Amino acid sequence: MIIDSLDSSTELSRRVFIKGIGYLSLGVIFSTMLGGCESIIKQIENRPVRRRLRTGSAEVDSAIAIYRDAVQRMKALPASDPRSWTAQAALHGTVAGGFNLCQHGNNHFFSWHRAYVFYFERICQELTGEKTFGLPYWNWNQNPAMHPAFTGAGPLFHPRNNTSVAGNPAFSDSTLNPIFTDNNFFTFSGQVEGTPHNTLHVAVGGDMASGGSAQDPVFWMHHCMVDYCWAKWNIELEHDNTNDASWIGTSWNHFVDGKGASVNVTAGTTILMPLLGYRYEPSTIGRFTATRDLRAASVAELNKLEKRLKEGADIRFDVKKRVPIARGTRLSIARPFSAEVQVPADDVSALMEATTGREERVFVNIESAELPQVNDFFIRVFINLPGADLQTPTTDPHFAGSFAFFGRHMDADGTRRGRTDFLVNVTETLQRLRQEGQLRAGEPIQVQLVAVPATEAFISPETDFTLKSIDLVVTPVIIHPK
C-alpha cells in the first residue's frame, strides 16, 4: 500500500523523502514509480479515515469497535513486544517514572506526536486485520463530553477525574479562534500545546495528567484531535509550516510499524502523512467550519497542495520587541501572582502600535524553570487587574487566556529540552483595554497569573514552583502572497 512509503525502512520512502528537505511529487509517485496505476491512486483516495467521535454514527461505532479490539489485543501482548500496550505507552512515559521520549515544550510537539499516533494506528490495523481502520478523534470544541464508549465498562475505560471539559474556556471558540488565525507555525504550535492540549490532560486528570498518559485509551483520541488541529491549520486553512532544514531533518528511530519492525521517521516526513497515510473527516473548530473532502479534489489540486506542503515557508519565531515583566518568580498556586512594570515610552509605543493593525501580535511569554510537582490546575492570565482571583470570571475584559503545565522540559541531568515557554496571545485584550481607557502610555502594565484547580479544590495547595521569566513580546505577523 502507498502508506508504506512513509516507513523509511522501505526504498520508496528513501526516494520520496530526499536529504531531509526534498520530496518527489505525487505526480512522480503516480506516473513514474507506480506507473500511474489507478489502484494506487484509489488507495490514496480511500486511505484510512479518522472520524470525529460522536453518537449516532454507524461509521464511528465501527471504528470504536475496532479500536476496542485493538486495545484488547495490544494489552494481551507480552511487554517485551514493542507493539504491546505497555511498550507503546512507555514511549511517551510512565506514571511512576514521568516523561520519556515524547517531545513537549519544543518545536517538535506536533511532528513527534503525529508520528507516534500514525505508527500506533498502524499497529491497530495489523493486529485487528482492519487495514483501513482510522483512529477517531475527540473534538473537544464541538463535543466537550467524552464519548460514552470511554466512560462505561470495558477496555476503553480508565480511571479519570473528569470526563467533560464543558465550560472550560481553553476549548471555547473565543480561545481557539485567535489561535487558528495565527499564521506562524511556531506560535501556533506553542499555543495549541499550552492551552487546549495541556489543559485537556490536566482536566481529565488521573494518569492523563502524568507521563503515563498514553496508558489511558482516550489519550489517542485526544492526540488525534491535536493532530487534526495541525492538519486543519496547515491543509484546510492554508497556513505554511516552516522550511527550516534543521527542523525538517530531525529524526526519530524509536517507533515500530504494525509488524514490530523499527522505523526511522523525520519531522519532514510527517508533513505529508495526512496526504498519503490517512485523512480526517472534516469538522468545525471555533468559527472554522468543516471544509470539503479532499477526495473530491482533482489531481492538479492535490499536486498544488502537495507542492505547498513540501515547500513550507521561511518561518521563524522572531521577537521584534521584548518587555520584561518579572524574573525568577516563585509562584504559589494558593495565591494569585501580580507583577507590575513601568514600561519605557518607546516600548509602550511598540505595544500600542502592535494592537492597532494586523501586522503584529503581542504575547505574554512565560518561561518555566521547573514543572510543578502536582499538576492539577490551570493558569489564567489577566492584564491590569491586580485583584484577579479564583472568582474572577473569564468574561472579564482583563482576561487574556490560559495555559496548563504538562510535559518534562528538563532532562534528568538538568539539560534543557528546547523551548520551555508558554504563549498567551494578549493582543485583543490590550486592544480592548486601550479602547476602554484602561491602558495608557506612561502608566505601568500589570500581568496577573491565577491558578485555578481542575476539580473543586487543589490537591496540594502548598504547591509552588519557579517561573524563569515573564515577558511581553511583540512578533510580526507573517503574510504570504497567494
The model's pLDDT over 178-196, given as tens digits with 9 standing for 90+, comes to 999 999 999 999 999 999 9
Residue range(s) occupied by CATH 2.60.120 in the chain? 321-476
Helix (H, G, I), strand (E, B) or coil at 480: coil
Per-residue DSSP letters for 361-427?
EEEEEEEESS--SS--EEEEEEES-TT--TT--TTSTTEEEEEE--S--B-TTS-B-S--EEEEE-H
Tell me how many degrees the CA angle 420-421-422 measures, rounded to the nearest 5. Answer: 135
Per-residue DSSP letters for 152-202?
SSSTT----S-SB-TT-GGGSHHHHHHHHT---HHHHHHHHIIIIIHHHHH
* Cell numbers representing residue 85 in the block: 500496550
Helix (H, G, I), strand (E, B) or coil at 102: coil
Residue 92 in contact with residue 132, Cβ under 8 Å? no
Looking only at the bridges linking them, the beta strands covering 337-341 and 445-453 are antiparallel
DSSP state letter for 146: P
Q: What is the pLDDT of residues 155-170, one digit of tens each?
A: 999 999 999 999 999 9
pLDDT averaged over the chain?
Answer: 86
The amino acid occupying position 157 is: F
DSSP state letter for 218: H
Q: What is the pLDDT of residues 335-380, one digit of tens each?
A: 999 988 777 766 766 677 766 766 788 999 999 877 788 889 999 9
Q: What is the pLDDT of residues 62-95, one digit of tens each?
A: 999 999 999 999 999 999 999 999 999 999 999 9
Question: What is the reported pTM?
Answer: 0.90
Structure confidence at residue 228 (pLDDT)? 98
Residue ranges of the alpha helices (H) in 297-341?
A: 299-311
Structure confidence at residue 119 (pLDDT)? 97
Residue range(s) occupied by CATH 1.10.1280.10 in the chain? 2-311
Q: Is 321-476 a CATH 2.60.60 domain? A: no
Topology adopted by domain 2-311: di-copper center containing domain from catechol oxidase (1.10.1280)
Structure confidence at residue 370 (pLDDT)? 77
